């Protein structure tokens, strides 16, 4: 009889509101990711946020679920549950990060999944103000900051490899002069290598420029220089 009374004291409507708010918040962030063609979109973010909010309910109402149990048996530590949720979400976020050549993709999506789980925990404990505010700020970061980032003339990096005949008159200084003409700067050291057949020499380096078209320009110039047998310029992005 005591247990039945305690169960009826749980505010089921309030719990439902928290779960619905979590689904909506996760869905809003997921829509932004889906709009930009990311693999984890509307449904994934909604479920992640819902899972965080639902798991917190176990801790919030554990004394009620286990009504009648001795006090020393009903021990709750919300921080451990939250830590476990965030650790599990970390594995899920790692699954959306992949490497394509020198480009690493999925970092922003992984971060959005992580913040979505955090929002779910906030709604789960009933901290609506912080949950709503965090959702709004997250959407601003994912949308507005993307446009601001596009307006900033940041440094663009690329990996560059060129090869030329071993007995040719081409030198490292000659190639660096070609890069300088197109406003490209070498970052770090220039690695020298002889091809397995011993006929060609290869230069490998990382280059950068504030002008995105500088890479296309140097590529066009190298195509008209017969002394360079092969070349490859690969952008480095995250």
Distance from C-alpha of 162 to C-alpha of 15, rounded to nearest angstrom: 63
Cβ of 46: how many Cβ atoms within 10 Å?
22
> Mean of the pLDDT values across residues 142-158?
80
Total number of residues shown for the chain:
238
3-state DSSP call for residue 174? helix
Say yes or no to pLDDT of 129 above 70. Answer: yes
Q: What are the distances in angstroms from CA 157 to CA 106, 188, 211, 215, 234?
A: 18, 12, 10, 10, 9
Residue 192 burial (CB count, 10 A): 11
As a whole number, the mean pLDDT across the chain is 82
Span(s) in the chain for CATH 3.30.70.260: 156-236
Mean pLDDT in residue range 205-217:
87
Q: How far is CA 218 from the centre of its chain?
A: 31
pLDDT at 123 over 60: yes
Q: Which CA distances in Å does 73 have to 62, 70, 133?
A: 11, 5, 37
pLDDT computed for residue 24 by the predictor: 94
Fold of 156-236: Alpha-Beta Plaits (3.30.70)
Residue 154 DSSP label: -
Q: Inform me whether the pLDDT recorded for 1 exceeds 50.
A: no
Taking residues 60-68, report their average pLDDT: 69
77 pLDDT above the threshold of 80: no
Say what the pLDDT of residue 171 is.
Answer: 83
- Per-residue confidence band for 8, with pLDDT thresholds at 50, 70 and 90: very low
The answer on pLDDT for 117 being more than 70 is yes
The CA-atom distances, in angstroms, between 181 and each of 82, 208, 231, 236 are 55, 13, 17, 21
pLDDT of residue 74: 57
């Amino acid at each position: 009889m005591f247990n039945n009374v305690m169960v009826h004291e749980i505010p089921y409507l309030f719990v439902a509101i928290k779960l619905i708010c979590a689904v909506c918040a996760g869905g809003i962030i997921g829509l932004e990711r889906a709009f930009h063609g990311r693999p984890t979109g509307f449904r994934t973010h909604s479920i992640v946020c819902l899972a965080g909010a639902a798991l917190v309910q176990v801790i919030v109402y554990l004394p009620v679920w286990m009504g009648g149990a001795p006090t020393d048996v009903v021990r709750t530590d919300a921080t451990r549950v939250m830590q476990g949720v965030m650790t599990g979400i970390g594995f899920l976020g790692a699954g959306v990060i992949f490497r394509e050549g020198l480009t690493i993709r999925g970092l922003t999506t992984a971060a959005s999944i992580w913040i979505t789980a955090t929002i779910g925990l906030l709604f789960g404990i009933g901290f609506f103000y912080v949950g709503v505010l965090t959702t709004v700020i997250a959407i601003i970061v994912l949308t507005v900051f993307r446009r601001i980032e596009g307006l900033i003339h940041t440094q663009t990096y690329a990996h560059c490899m060129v090869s030329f005949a071993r007995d040719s008159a081409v030198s490292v200084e000659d190639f660096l002069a070609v890069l300088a003409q197109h406003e490209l700067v070498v970052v770090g050291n220039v690695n020298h290598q002889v091809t397995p057949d011993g006929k060609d020499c290869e230069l490998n380096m990382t280059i950068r420029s504030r002008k995105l078209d500088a890479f296309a320009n140097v590529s066009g110039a190298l195509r008209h220089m017969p002394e360079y047998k092969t070349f490859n310029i690969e952008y480095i992005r995250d």
